Amino acid sequence: MSAIAIELADGRTISGHCDAQFTGVLAEFRRNFEERKEQGASVAITHQGRMVVDLWGGLANPQTGEVWARDTISIVYSCTKAATALCLHMLVDQGKVAYETPVGDIWPEFATAGKEATTVGMMLTHTSPVPHVAEPIRKGGLADWDYMIARVAAEPAHWEPGTRQGYHGLTYAWTVGQLIRLISGMPLGQYFRENVAGPLGLDFHIGLPESEELRVAPMIAADPAEVNFASDFFRKATTVPGSLPNLFLTNQGGANFNSREVHAAEIGSANGITNARGLAGMYTPLANGGGVLLSADRVHRMGRVCAATQSDAVLCQPMRFAMGFMATTDNRATGGDSLILGESAFGHVGMGGSVGFADPAAGLAMGYTMSRMGAGILVNARGQGLIDAAYRALGMTTDSSGAWR
């Protein structure tokens, strides 16, 4: 790969390496800074297991002027869900649990209040009946594992298990995370570290050690002027108290995701901390047959779309999910938020626009992280522009369904 050192007009820089075939990705990354208000970010891509793009740039902290360095990391919000799902799929692959297993067989306290028929597979696909908890979460509650699993276990079902799809924006940390804890005998963060991040050499943490705190770029909130408050999701979130969109955005116990308290916690739905290299590295084995993590058959099963709806009960728009991962969801014609990947690809976005995915048909894995959050609930132009450039570099085009082929 060719070394990159670009100074932007405002004095910020872009550094790293980029294979000549993927110079379109470099051009889009630069465009993000020059035209799309990027502050600090990283993007990494592997193809057929080889790193072909590894770029970073801008400022990690605009207030102090600290530059985004090669080892800068940041919260990737719901990209964490993919890491959590991956851990449970590994336990399935090892024969320690099955997708059809009733959750009550593993976690008896959960099998109450209409949740008795919930299966492990439903936990993965957002068809479990606990998309959020209705009563207020106490201050600091998200960082208290025992408190949150007790809240999730006691929550009455919001629908009959398996009959609706509703994005488990926060509760995924405990619906899936507690299963991993009970089946493996170790906390989620430890299991991920010992079985995924460690073996793959990833700078990816669910529960950040204090020694790494100084490397974290603080997140910058989205500009309210960019938010589409007329969308069904934001309209309900801001005007219908107690609705699922409202609970998702507001019932968080006052959590500050830039705080040491939240960084140190294990919130497997929302507080993973890494960079693009860490996201791409996690997905690289999944784009190339499973590698040291999973069997090829398991990768195929977990990446297959198995839950789709015209109106997700939380996100209020069409959504398509594989088992714990998002699949191509094209809502451009209706003005909704989208994620346009390859037909065989699966991955996950994070609030504000971070994204990681694997495309086994293309042998492609990618990660994008940033500090300045965009509006919306899936990717924005910054992330999608990078994704599109990666597929174009492979000579692919989009079809009538919107997916890259």
Residue 200: count other Cβ atoms within 10 Å of its Cβ. Answer: 16
119: phi then psi, degrees, rounded to nearest 5 = -110, 170
Alpha carbon distance 240, 286 (integer Å): 40
pLDDT in tens, 365-394: 999 999 999 998 999 999 999 999 999 999
Strand partners, 14: 6, 57
CA dist list (Å): 263 to 49, 61, 74, 255: 30, 17, 10, 11
What is the percent of the chain with per-residue pLDDT over 90, rounded to a whole number? Answer: 94
Instruction: Give the tokens for residue 314.
Output: 């939380």
pLDDT in tens, 81-117: 999 999 999 999 999 999 999 999 999 999 999 999 9
CATH code assigned to 2-83+190-393: 3.40.710.10
- Regarding pTM above 0.75, the answer is yes
pLDDT in tens, 224-278: 999 888 899 999 999 999 999 999 999 999 999 999 999 999 999 999 999 999 9
pLDDT score at 9: 84
